[in-house]
């Protein structure tokens, strides 16, 4: 028996929403193409996000490149750390993610489980290759970056396909900050394609090798994390699963208002809270009820070491349970600090004081003898890098991590004994600081899928995609009641008029009116317009609602205004005309 995912997949293929890429060559896991209906729906979801987060919130948008040179990802940490745990079948040679095989065997494990611990679980539970039943190899790390060469091989530049959209916001920060008149908070959004060389993607559109991500980086002053607009949404309800509840094993979800979440310390600052609430609203407007969403706080050993707090926005799905659709991290100053260190470009911002005042200044001094002894012929380069480093960043890294990683083609760590710090006082007109970053990141393909799952309905053995009407790919369908007596000509005229008004319209005169309604329902068309014999007498048509199958009658001349207001949710269906009860045809 087909489950909900199978039913949606079959319909997506048949109606042109989504299907495997290059199917005629057998396809490759992790690659999907959006068909005629799917590409419009995906674009409408992205545009809805733009309206809610960019236009209404006064953000700016960036479009940066997919390929970036290696130093960008060396600075971000992706080259060294963007890995999954991989095992190989010793019989058939297929590769798998070890953690997923263990999870699919029904075995739970804590975040941060090591490769050796995964291998122990594989042995103890006799987990074998899911394809042929063969034994599995010991696990190894596998970097998920796609590596390429820009220019001729041997003479070109090593580069990578971006695994996230965010790095462009960091590398372009200095330009954007100047263009936006040096204001903070500064929110920079980006919607773009990304690539990850996933080991064995097996969840359809949930885990892809090429996908669309929405990243926005909110650059803030760490000494002012308030957000005036919080008052507009402070009574919105959130469903939060705190890290403490996960650690205790109770997994109780707290249903609280935004204000209560802040007062109880469940969310650490107003900016983070505001955009978490907005993310919940975004999914709700795409048809996912609030009680099918939760904000799961990542555990301390799960989140990045530089993150003060990270939440995953998760949606309940029938086949896979809770899946992440967006991640929200308070990343502190990690990203800009790393790019400052690796590029040598100072991206600190200056904030003037109301009056000059005395501040503490840190001076970084290298210990020449120790550096020359430890780094030998590389000492001159090390000294030059120390000279370019920002003392406050070096001091903090040495204090918190015990080392400071110097940029370069290979890893070099500066230790506390290599430098000394001198603190002095000086009169300053302002302060220099590295902006902190709050980063919400949305997976568009996953959001596309959950939108379909929550829209899928069966009624009288027929399928209806109850897509929110403002994102439906085809907004209106126009049908002649019968294919004679001048009705097709009249319907064609109305069809062209609506096209000229900017609507996405489908014209269909094939088959019975009931079959045409059914085809429109499974494509998610919110309104069907039928031209009948009365139309020829008084220039009125019937409008049929996809979800209720109710019908009203309206004047042709009023259609553009009525449909515009309806699609923008300014009118409900029963306000579009006079109720009309047609002869049975469904």
Interval 97-130: pLDDT, tens: 999 899 889 888 876 788 899 999 999 999 999 9
Residue 311: exposed, middle, or buried by beta-carbon count in 10 A (0-12, 13-18, 19+)?
A: buried
* pLDDT > 80? residue 154: no
Q: Which two tokens stand for residue 470?
A: 């403002």
pLDDT at 126: 94
pLDDT at 1: 77
Rounded to an integer, the average pLDDT of 504-525 is 97
pLDDT at 207: 92
Beta bridge partners of 322: 316
* CA angle in degrees (0–180, nearest 5) for 136-139-141: 145
Rounded to an integer, the average pLDDT of 263-282 is 97
Nearest to 280 by CA among 211, 220, 329, 328: 328
Rounded to an integer, the average pLDDT of 244-256 is 94
Average pLDDT score, the chain? 94
The enclosing H or E element of 87 equals: strand 83-88
The class level of CATH for 354-431 reads alpha beta
Question: What fold characterizes domain 83-143?
Answer: Herpes Virus-1 (3.30.40)
Alpha carbon separation from 447 to 49, 108, 196, 452, 519 (Å, rounded): 11, 26, 18, 9, 24
The enclosing H or E element of 497 equals: helix 487-500
The residue whose two tokens read 């400052």 is 340
Helix%, strand%, coil% for the chain, nearest 5:
35, 30, 35
Binned at pLDDT 50, 70 and 90, residue 2 comes out as confident
* pLDDT > 60? residue 586: no
Q: Among 3.40.50.800, 1.10.3720.10, 3.20.20.150, 1.20.1090.10, name the CATH number for the domain at 474-580.
A: 3.40.50.800
DSSP state of 296: E
Sequence-separated (6 or more) residues with CB below 8 Å from residue 537: none
Domains of the chain by residue range: 83-143, 354-431, 474-580
pLDDT at 513: 96
Q: What is the pTM of this model?
A: 0.92
């Amino acid at each position: 028996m087909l489950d909900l995912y199978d039913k949606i997949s079959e319909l997506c293929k048949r109606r042109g929403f989504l299907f495997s890429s290059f199917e005629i060559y057998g396809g490759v896991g992790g690659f999907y193409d959006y068909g005629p209906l799917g590409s419009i729906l995906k674009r409408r979801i992205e545009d809805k996000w733009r309206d809610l987060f960019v236009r209404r919130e006064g953000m700016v948008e960036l479009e940066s490149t997919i390929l970036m040179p290696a130093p960008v990802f060396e600075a971000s940490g992706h080259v060294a750390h963007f890995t999954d745990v991989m095992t190989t079948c010793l019989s058939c040679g297929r590769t798998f993610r070890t953690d997923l095989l263990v999870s699919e065997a029904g075995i739970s494990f804590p975040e941060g489980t090591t490769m050796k611990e995964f291998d122990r679980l594989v042995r103890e539970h006799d987990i074998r290759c899911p394809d042929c039943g063969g034994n599995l190899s010991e696990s190894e790390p596998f970097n998920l970056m796609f590596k390429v060469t820009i220019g001729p091989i041997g003479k070109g530049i090593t580069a990578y396909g971006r695994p996230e959209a965010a790095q462009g916001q960091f590398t372009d920060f200095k330009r954007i900050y100047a263009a936006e008149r040096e204001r903070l908070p500064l929110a920079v959004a980006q919607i773009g394609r990304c690539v990850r060389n996933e080991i064995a993607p097996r969840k359809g559109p949930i885990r892809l090798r090429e996908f669309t991500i929405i990243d926005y980086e909110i650059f803030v002053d760490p000494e002012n994390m308030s957000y005036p607009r919080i008052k507009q949404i402070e009574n919105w309800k959130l469903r939060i699963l705190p890290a403490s509840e996960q650690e205790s094993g109770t997994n109780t979800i707290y249903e609280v208002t935004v204000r209560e979440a802040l007062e109880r310390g469940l969310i650490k600052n107003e900016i983070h809270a505001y955009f978490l609430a907005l993310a919940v609203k975004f999914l709700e407007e795409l048809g996912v009820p609030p009680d099918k969403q939760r904000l799961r706080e990542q555990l301390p050993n799960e989140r990045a070491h530089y993150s003060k707090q990270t939440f995953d926005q998760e949606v309940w799905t029938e086949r896979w349970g809770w899946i992440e659709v967006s991640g929200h991290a308070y990343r502190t100053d990690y990203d800009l600090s790393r790019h400052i260190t690796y590029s040598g470009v100072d991206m600190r911002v200056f904030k003037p004081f109301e009056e000059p005042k005395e501040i503490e200044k840190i001076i970084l001094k290298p210990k020449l003898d120790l550096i020359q002894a430890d780094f030998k012929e590389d000492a001159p380069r090390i000294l030059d890098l120390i000279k370019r480093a920002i003392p406050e960043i070096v001091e903090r890294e040495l204090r918190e991590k015990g080392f400071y990683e110097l940029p370069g083609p290979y890893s070099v760590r500066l230790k506390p004994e290599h430098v000394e710090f001198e603190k002095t006082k000086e009169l300053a007109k302002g302060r220099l600081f590295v902006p902190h970053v709050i980063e919400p990141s949305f997976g568009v393909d996953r959001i596309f899928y959950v939108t379909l799952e929550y829209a899928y309905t069966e009624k009288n053995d027929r399928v209806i995609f109850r897509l929110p009407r403002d994102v439906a790919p085809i907004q209106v369908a126009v049908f002649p009641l019968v294919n004679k007596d001048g009705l097709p000509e009249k319907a064609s005229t109305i069809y062209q008029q609506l096209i000229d008004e900017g609507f996405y319209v489908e014209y269909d005169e094939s088959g019975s009116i009931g079959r045409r309604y059914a085809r429109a329902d499974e494509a998610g068309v919110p309104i069907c317009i039928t031209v009948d014999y009365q139309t020829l007498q008084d220039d009125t048509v019937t409008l049929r609602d996809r979800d209720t199958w109710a019908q009203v009658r309206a004047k042709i001349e009023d259609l553009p205004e009525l449909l515009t207001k309806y699609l923008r949710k300014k009118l409900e269906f029963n306000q579009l005309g006079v109720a009309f009860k047609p002869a049975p045809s469904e």
